[in-house]
Amino acid sequence: MSLEYLKKDFERVNKKFKELKRKGEIEAIEKNLDSFENKPVTDSMDDIWAEIYHDVLDLKKSKENKE
């Protein structure tokens, strides 16, 4: 019986850890995106990276909403 409780506790903690990790990844992507968008001078590579970060951010947020 206590083994069952431990398994449930482990699952709950693991789920919360993954949730916090995803939020941290999203925040990191948002910071990278801000750094590209707030540059005084941008080139085409910066624009490409900004588009990539936008796409990844959209995918991560949609995945988070589905869960």
Walking along the chain (67 residues) 10 residues at a time, the average pLDDT comes out as 80 82 84 83 81 86 78
pLDDT of residue 64: 75
pLDDT of residue 1: 59
Count up the domains in the chain and report the number. 1
Residue 16 lies in a domain: no
Residue 42 lies in a domain: yes
pLDDT of residue 6: 81
Residue 9 lies in a domain: no
Residue 2 lies in a domain: no
Residue 7 lies in a domain: no
Residue 15 lies in a domain: no
Q: How many CB atoms lie within 10 A of CB 53?
A: 20
pTM of the entire predicted model: 0.60
Residue 28 lies in a domain: yes
Rg (CA), the chain: 18
DSSP states of the chain:
-HHHHHHHHHHHHHHHHHHHHHHHHHHHHHHHHHHHHT-SS--HHHHHHHHHHHHHHHHHHHHHHH-
pLDDT of residue 42: 74
Residue 1 lies in a domain: no
**Which domain does 31 fall in, by range?**
22-67
